[in-house]
């Protein structure tokens, strides 16, 4: 039993919208985040651990020297992932397919829920412009002001998943 079960509070999704990331979405996240048992500085200069986590469940930031086992990293990932699933459900006002939901959770997991909430992507999506929203993924391929090939590939994969 996880010590993080209190984070499982439910959020009501629009009718027909998935509430959990699918296996395909999990695979996408794992692929692009990768796993690191020792804290490292990501390209944006933020200490990161496990599957791209920058904070512990209690809100403390990851610091140099922090370590996790793969099992601890997986539990941390799933715990933090629930925050992003709920955040997407809170922000989106239109129905989503599983692929759209998975793509938005992956995007938010990477750039943060604040970035999603203030994005043109979300504004277009909530106005019903799914195609315009899909195209916005491709604009989010920079870290530290530089275009990163890995982010470009990730955004292309998220956009493709969103459009399926």
Question: What is the predicted pLDDT for the residue at 143?
Answer: 84
pLDDT digits (tens, 9 = 90+) for 127-158: 999 999 999 999 999 988 899 999 999 999 99
Q: Give yes or no for a contact between 18 and 98, defined as CB atoms under 8 angstroms apart.
A: yes
Structure tokens at 72: 């601890």
**pLDDT of 7 above 70:** no
Count the domains in the chain. Answer: 1
**pLDDT of 12 above 70:** no
Q: Look at residue 138 and tell me if it is in a domain.
A: yes
H or E element in which residue 48 lies: strand 47-50
Q: In the 8-state DSSP scheme, what is residue 50?
A: E
33 among known catalytic residues: yes
Q: Domain with 81 in it: what CATH number?
A: 1.10.530.40
**pLDDT of 92 above 50:** yes
Q: Look at residue 3 and tell me if it is in a domain.
A: no
Q: Look at residue 9 and tell me if it is in a domain.
A: no
pTM: 0.86
* 11 or 67, higher pLDDT: 67
For residues 10, 83, 6, 2, the Cα torsion angle rounded to the nearest 10 degrees is 120
Q: Look at residue 6 and tell me if it is in a domain.
A: no
Q: Which domain holds residue 85?
A: 20-163
Q: Give yes or no for a contact between 116 and 122, defined as CB atoms under 8 angstroms apart.
A: yes
* Chain Cα centroid distance, residue 96: 16
Question: What is the predicted pLDDT for the residue at 6?
Answer: 35
Q: Look at residue 8 and tell me if it is in a domain.
A: no
Q: Look at residue 57 and tell me if it is in a domain.
A: yes
pLDDT digits (tens, 9 = 90+) for 57-90: 898 999 999 999 999 999 999 999 999 999 999 9
Q: Which of 33, 71, 85, 164 is catalytic?
A: 33
Q: How far apart are the first and last CA of the chain?
A: 35
């Amino acid at each position: 039993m996880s010590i993080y079960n209190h984070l499982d509070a439910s959020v009501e999704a629009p009718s027909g919208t998935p509430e959990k990331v699918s296996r395909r979405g999990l695979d996408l996240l794992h692929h692009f985040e990768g796993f690191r048992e020792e804290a490292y500085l990501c390209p944006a200069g933020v200490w990161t651990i496990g599957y791209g986590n920058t904070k512990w469940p209690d809100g403390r930031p990851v610091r140099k020297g922090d370590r996790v086992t793969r099992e601890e990293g997986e539990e941390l990932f799933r715990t933090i992932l629930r925050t992003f699933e709920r955040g997407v459900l809170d922000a989106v006002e239109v129905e989503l397919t599983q692929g759209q939901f998975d793509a938005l959770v992956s995007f938010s997991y990477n750039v943060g829920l604040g970035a999603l909430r203030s994005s043109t992507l979300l504004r277009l999506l909530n106005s019903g412009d799914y195609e315009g929203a899909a195209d916005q993924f491709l604009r989010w391929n920079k870290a530290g002001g530089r275009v990163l090939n890995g982010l470009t590939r990730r955004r292309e994969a998220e956009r493709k998943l969103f459009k399926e």
